[in-house]
Amino acid sequence: MNKRIISSFKPATLPEIVDRFWTRVDRSAGAEGCWPWVAGKSGCGYGTLGVNWTDQYVHRLSYEMNFGPIPDGMCVCHHCDNPPCVNPLHLFLGTVGDNVRDMVQKGRWRRPIPRRESGNIA
């Protein structure tokens, strides 16, 4: 898995990716609103963009473009609970555990959480 999506690109390819990225985002809601991805989406509703021949989650791309590389093992979560949203103001870094806790708190997790005895993710 390629965690550092943007930072691993050759500099010459980055503007092209940024260009392709923003033409597929609906920013009509204004700076504070949700900016939904209007192009391809994964089964879970997260936007995806083909980069270096693989589909990347666009909320992760948005985070990297605005805040820098995502540390290994970290997730990019949504304050707004809107999977296609790529507004960087709505994104925050969390661990896998944070993400699950966040989902539980917001009632988005309906299945029991599997126990992982050997799960030292961090």
Tell me whether residue 57 is exposed, middle or buried, using C-beta atoms within 10 angstroms of its C-beta: 0 to 12, 13 to 18, 19 or more. buried
DSSP state of 9: S
The partner residues of 85 in beta bridges, in order of sequence, read 36
CA distance 75 to 77: 6
By CB under 5 A, name the one of 9, 24, 82, 92 that touches Zn ion.
82
Contact mark string toward Zn ion, 52..81, x via CB under 5 A: ----------------------------x-
Nearer to Zn ion, 82 or 95 (CB): 82
85 binds Zn ion (CB under 5 A): yes
Q: Which residues bind Zn ion (CB under 5 A)?
A: 34, 80, 82, 85, 87, 90
